[in-house]
Structure 1
Amino acid sequence: MIPQFFARICAASLLALAFTASPALAEDWAPEVFGRLQYDYTRSSGDESGFDLDRGELRTGRIGLSAKRGDTKLKAELALNNDGNAELTDAYIKQALGKSGWDVRAGQFKTQNSLDEQSSGRFLVFYERAAFTDAFGFDRRVGVQLENRGQRHSVYAGVFAENANDTAFAGGHAAAVRYVFTPVQTESRLLHFGVSLRWREAGDADFRYRQRPVSHEAGAILATPKFASDDLFGGVEAAWIDGPVWLAGEYGQLRANRTAGPDATYAGGYTEAGYVFGGRRTYDHNKFRRPEVARPVTAGGPGALILAARADWLDLSDRAADGGQLTTFTIAADWFATSHVHAGINLYRAEADLGSTSSGLAPAFAAYRLAGGMSEDVTGASLRIQFDF
């Protein structure tokens, strides 16, 4: 990890110095430095298992550089992980293919799956994404993608190896495609429909599927054994915005295939609704963007308050590999002092029917399952303070 850490720091530093040291080069490429800091505090507990979490963490610390010249765009970003080491998040070059309307992107970035997953964590009102996006392993990978983003129709299709922070070419592969239709898209109104597929093949180890009870700091409350050599995901998504109001929902299904023995089918989804007092939810490039604050505190205003609710579910129960079921209800309140500074709270109740194995579960849930426990409910609250630029 140490050599990789210094290599990434040096690469980012050299790129930044190249732009800052040469005014002509900086003017030619129009570089921008960006970053974020997120601090989370969570207090949650289980009804039966003895699970208890009372902890704060620097959830995300990131710094990056983007630059654009003509039809070419570069982006590189480093993040501080939970171990205190730097990891590469996005690092790619994007090039327009003449006047065809198509772009090609090469490097490391997320596969195009799920509206919730594509929307930046800077702009999410619910501090954890939908359970199925984590359980089904949506992630960043090294790959090449073709993109055609139109006013009403958009298409993304790519092929990928593995994550650059692991061994990028250790044998795992993936292919993903997403189509988005926006029949209504104005400054204050939106109607969005999308569908996506992803196939991936395991590299050195088979896939397992598991999920935490909401909090990033909690261990898994649902888990399957490691058994799948490859899987296929299909999902649909929809969203509606009308000024300060929005609705969104998704449904996804995954077919997990094993080399020998029966395959398994899992599913998940969510429905959410929210209202922005003193602003509105925004959308661009086929994902939710930064909320608009009508009167930020820096201009003598009250900022914007977002209230929202979400029902989220994940079904990992299948006779071939039973990981259990999870249903979560979350209420969110987020105050944006400005569009770049906000603080808020998520209150949640996660209700789990445990699967047939304790393997892969957090210690408290594993011990409870081994003692014969079959269901567990977790209640909690997460606070967040965030600044980005």
Structure 2
Amino acid sequence: MKNILFAPGLVLAAMPLAAAPAIAQATPPAASETARELAAMRAEMARMAARIETLEAELAAAGDAPAAVPADDAPAAADPANAQAEGVSGGAPAGRGGTTIRWKGAPVIEGEGGWSFKPRGRLQIDAGTIAAPAATGAEDGFGSEIRRARLGVEGDIPGGFGYKFELDFAGGEVEIADAIATYGDGGLTVSAGQHNTFQGLEELTSSRFISTMERAAFTDAFGFERRVGLSAQYAADGWLVQAGVFGDNADDLSNRNWSVDGRLVAMPELGGAQLHLGGSLHYAEYESGTTLRYRQRPFVHFTDTRFIDTGRFAAGSELGMGLEAAAIAGPFHAAAEGFWQKVDRPGALADPTFFGGYAEVGLFLTRGDTRGYKRGVFDRVKPASPVGEGGFGAIQVNLRYDRLDLSEAAIVGGTQDGYALSLVWTPTDHTRLMANYGRMEYRGAAIPAAGGERSYGVDAFGVRAQIDF
């Protein structure tokens, strides 16, 4: 291209030089002044031609050298993981001035000094049916709902600080799910704000990763929920210690209710299997005049019918104790928990101790898949052969027995024995489809059937579509 641009100049320079001899021969001595002017022009043209050749050589040399880039525009050092996320092998992540962007279900923006920012969210859509004895008059049949619709952000701040904030828009209302400020140093993490208390494996495992559509019955019945508080946890090699002081849920403040919660977990690996052994304690003190109510839905959330219910009763405090165990070995996993909730009632009233627990086994039917586990809870399943990469995703089948006993010390809330089967398809890391069937057997049910009968069975079937980032 450069030769093409300079060729016209060289041609124009050569034209007067070629014509000069003819002009000199035809010019008489009186025109010697004209000859001198032509000679000056020839000299000037020669200098121009030499300059053009010099510029052409300089431009040719510049074209072979890398272009200079201002310091602020220079790319960060190549990160193979980031390059893969951007779809470019061996390339550098997008960014300016040390800022990088990588993909982890959503863009993670990381800046100099330890700053990071990541949007997060989940959407769970449920539908299904409930079949109860007609004589109960209970509302059953088809139901559906948006179970969870959460949006939020999380990230890091220089100095070891972090944050997480998430809102839930399900049910036509906006509620705070998490609102946490954290500080971390090595294995220690201190958290302040609304977050989970430490009441067992099932409760602390995210709803994105549980093996049935709803958690074990006792977790809802005993009022496990996020609360505003200050907590600390320390994770060492194979151990996890968690403890905190909490008020109430953000939507229920302000009051004088408070609780202390703690959990200890051992996480050893044995012969390639991940083991989990833990225990938890919960103590809550309630302000004068407080009443409690323990109850639970029949295996699905899209109904407000509860066949097991204590009704409201006065309470001054409660003491909870839990035991938990789990194992993961390749495609197989097993888990079990038991939780005892003792309530201190005012005056001479007897103090009941209620019980809830479950036992579960699960198996992946697809080769190479296993249940995720991280820092004392079940974690994300990452299919070995996901959809979109030539695979079918991960398929898992689970069996569960779930018991809840709310009858004790003159309080007759009933007992529920649940038998559940779930089929979980995980096409990709961040998508999930579930189908659950549950059979609940009740004794002392809160809703009587014909003739006052309170022992009967209820069937529930549900499906869920889920996406998270």
Summarize the Cα distance change of 1:185–1:145 in structure 2 as closer, same or farther, 3 Å threshold. farther
CA RMSD in angstroms comes to: 2.1
Aligned-partner SS, 1:133:
helix
Q: Which residue of 2 aligns with 1:259?
A: 346
Aligned-partner SS, 2:291:
coil
Q: Which residue of 1 aligns with 2:336?
A: 249
Note if contact 2:146-2:170 (Cα within 8 Å) is conserved in structure 1: no
Q: Which residue of the other structure, out of 168, 187, 193, is the alignment partner of 1:79?
A: 168
Q: CA deviation at 1:225?
A: 2.7
Alignment partner of 1:160 is 2:234: no
Q: CA deviation at 1:276?
A: 1.4
Q: CA deviation at 1:79?
A: 0.4
Summarize the Cα distance change of 1:40–1:151 in structure 2 as closer, same or farther, 3 Å threshold. same
Alignment partner of 1:283 is 2:373: yes
Alignment partner of 1:199 is 2:288: no
Q: Which residue of 2 aligns with 1:190?
A: 274
Q: CA deviation at 1:339?
A: 1.5
Note if contact 1:195-1:234 (Cα within 8 Å) is conserved in structure 2: yes
Note if contact 1:263-1:320 (Cα within 8 Å) is conserved in structure 2: no
Q: Which residue of the other structure, out of 317, 338, 341, is the alignment partner of 2:428?
A: 338
Q: Which residue of 2 aligns with 1:294?
A: 384
Q: Which residue of 2 aligns with 1:105?
A: 191
Q: Deviations over 1:216-242 (max 9, x none)?
A: 123211111322221110000000000
Note if contact 2:298-2:460 (Cα within 8 Å) is conserved in structure 1: no
Counterpart Cα distance in 1 of 2:393 and 2:432: 9
Unaligned 5+ segments in structure 1 are 1-21, 359-364
Unaligned 5+ segments in structure 2 are 1-96, 100-108
Letter in 2 for 1:253: W
Note if contact 1:207-1:230 (Cα within 8 Å) is conserved in structure 2: no
Letter in 2 for 1:73: G
Alignment partner of 1:181 is 2:266: yes
Q: CA deviation at 1:62?
A: 0.4
Using the size of structure 2 for normalisation, the TM-score is 0.72
Alignment partner of 1:145 is 2:235: no
Counterpart Cα distance in 1 of 2:142 and 2:150: 24
Counterpart Cα distance in 2 of 1:53 and 1:115: 32
Letter in 2 for 1:80: F
Q: CA deviation at 1:370?
A: 9.4
Q: CA deviation at 1:81?
A: 3.1
Summarize the alignment of residues 198-217 of structure 1 with structure 2, pairs less than 5 Å apart: 198-203=282-287, 205-217=290-302
Q: Deviations over 1:305-337 (max 9, x none)?
A: 010100000111113312110000000001111
Summarize the alignment of residues 81-96 of structure 1 with structure 2, pairs less than 5 Å apart: 81-82=170-171, 84-96=172-184
Note if contact 1:221-1:354 (Cα within 8 Å) is conserved in structure 2: no
Q: CA deviation at 1:120?
A: 0.4
Summarize the alignment of residues 345-356 of structure 1 with structure 2, pairs less than 5 Å apart: 345-354=435-444
Counterpart Cα distance in 2 of 1:380 and 1:141: 30
Counterpart Cα distance in 2 of 1:108 and 1:369: 42
Q: Deviations over 1:79-135 (max 9, x none)?
A: 0131x1111011111112x56x43211100010111011000011120110011111
Summarize the Cα distance change of 1:374–1:295 in structure 2 as closer, same or farther, 3 Å threshold. same
Aligned-partner SS, 1:316:
strand
Q: Deviations over 1:171-193 (max 9, x none)?
A: 1111100000112179x631000
Counterpart Cα distance in 1 of 2:449 and 2:246: 37
Alignment partner of 1:239 is 2:326: yes
Note if contact 2:394-2:426 (Cα within 8 Å) is conserved in structure 1: yes
Note if contact 2:128-2:143 (Cα within 8 Å) is conserved in structure 1: yes
Summarize the Cα distance change of 1:274–1:107 in structure 2 as closer, same or farther, 3 Å threshold. same
Counterpart Cα distance in 2 of 1:253 and 1:105: 27
Aligned-partner SS, 1:323:
strand
Q: Which residue of the other structure, out of 119, 134, 147, is the alignment partner of 2:220?
A: 134
Counterpart Cα distance in 1 of 2:355 and 2:220: 12
Q: Deviations over 1:45-64 (max 9, x none)?
A: 11342431311111110011
Summarize the Cα distance change of 1:296–1:26 in structure 2 as closer, same or farther, 3 Å threshold. closer
Note if contact 1:105-1:144 (Cα within 8 Å) is conserved in structure 2: yes
Summarize the Cα distance change of 1:116–1:107 in structure 2 as closer, same or farther, 3 Å threshold. same
Q: Deviations over 1:121-151 (max 9, x none)?
A: 0111201100111111111100000111112
Q: Which residue of 1 aligns with 2:461?
A: 381
Q: Which residue of 2 aligns with 1:54?
A: 142
Q: Between the two structures, name the one with larger relative contact order (CA 8 Å, sep ≥ 6).
A: 1
Counterpart Cα distance in 2 of 1:106 and 1:370: 52
Counterpart Cα distance in 2 of 1:212 and 1:201: 26
Answer 1 or 2: which has greater strand percent.
Answer: 1
Q: CA deviation at 1:371?
A: 5.6
Counterpart Cα distance in 2 of 1:23 and 1:78: 31
Note if contact 2:126-2:146 (Cα within 8 Å) is conserved in structure 1: yes
Summarize the Cα distance change of 1:296–1:150 in structure 2 as closer, same or farther, 3 Å threshold. same
Aligned-partner SS, 1:214:
coil
Letter in 2 for 1:380: A
Counterpart Cα distance in 1 of 2:161 and 2:450: 56
Counterpart Cα distance in 2 of 1:371 and 1:66: 55
